[in-house]
Amino acid sequence: MLRWTHSTYCLCTEGQVVHTLTEGEPVREWRPSRDDSRVAGVTSLGEEIYLLRPKAFDQVEVYDVISYRLLRCLTVPNSREPDAITSCQHFLCLYICDPDAKCVHRLDLQGSAAMWPVNDRPWDVSVNADHNLIVLCRKVRKIKEFSPRGDLLRDVTLPDDVINPLHAIQLANGQFIVCHGVFNRAIHRVCKISSDGRGIIHSHGGQPGSNIGQYNVPGHLALDDNDFLFVLDYYNRRVTLLSSTLDYIRQVVSRDQVKWEPYMLYYDIQRRRLYVVENDGKFSVGRVVVYSV
């Protein structure tokens, strides 16, 4: 991670593993070439980690952020197949997308639950600086912004050459960062896109490959507090760090550090911990590896 002090900076080494959180059912079951694939993830709120698993009951496992001890389990009411998860630090709630039901679920820490329609299959979710929910709808190539109460504020259609988007986050200035590219597609890259969705401002990547500056399914994103970007590179089994202008900085997690196949990221800014979800090739065992970065 780059640590800035006025005009100088210090470049730290690769992330160091500090803990491996549970090996059980798949933490994320995702085959990028399939539209009906299942997704799960990990996030945190306050002193707790929330891990989403693809199962019928007790889908959300809650762990202590220090001891990593399992505290309790939560069930997403009225869900069909809950997938990606994110959290809102301001309103202290969880958001979970449900592609089969074409909806989003909200779980408050006080125990209340709500859901609202997306009217398209939601693929992944994130929260922006205004505490609104950003929902990526992959098949229709749209980003939909919802208020914390579920009101649709706007939808943004992505540029024509952003095909098969996999994750989207919104910067404080309104611009979006989107990663896109799946198996057997020509372009695999990360793009910074204007707030109206019409133009690409910066991009990193291109034809799929394993060299520096290339990706083979850039599947998930996470931001630090300097708008530096962690990019999970699915088939290359690594995590790359990019600058705020999408310039290559370094590898944060190398192939040698990954036991199975990485699927998604979550970055805890306060503790500077990077959570990387892995599943084995048969999608029978999953875990979360916690890195200090």
6 sits in the region (left: phi over 0; alpha: psi -120 to 50; else beta) called left
CA pair distance 284, 289, nearest whole angstrom: 17
Which CATH number does 2-292 carry?
2.120.10.30
Q: Which pLDDT value is given to residue 286?
A: 76
Task: Give the pLDDT band of residue 185 (cuts 50, 70, 90).
Answer: confident
> Residue 286, class by beta-carbon neighbours within 10 Å (0-12 exposed, 13-18 middle, 19+ buried)?
buried
Whether residue 3 has pLDDT greater than 70: no
Amino acid (one-letter) located at 11: L
Tokens coding 29: 């079951």
**Best mean pLDDT range from 39-48, 56-65, 206-215:** 206-215
Whether residue 9 has pLDDT greater than 70: no
Radius of gyration of the chain (CA): 18
Q: Which pLDDT value is given to residue 27?
A: 57
Q: What is the pLDDT of residues 92-140, one digit of tens each?
A: 999 999 998 999 999 998 778 999 999 999 999 999 999 999 999 999 9
Between 49 and 110, where is the model more confident?
49
CA pair distance 276, 285, nearest whole angstrom: 14
Among the listed ranges 5-14, 59-68, 224-233, which one has the minimum average pLDDT value? 5-14
Q: Percent of the chain, pLDDT > 90? A: 65
Q: Which pLDDT value is given to residue 25?
A: 53
Counting Cα atoms < 13 Å in the Cβ hemisphere of 277 gives 30
CA pair distance 71, 6, nearest whole angstrom: 42
Average pLDDT over the chain, rounded to whole?
86
CB 14 within 8 A of CB 253: yes
Q: Which pLDDT value is given to residue 59?
A: 84
Q: What is the pLDDT of residues 258-292, one digit of tens each?
A: 888 888 999 999 999 999 988 776 656 778 899 98
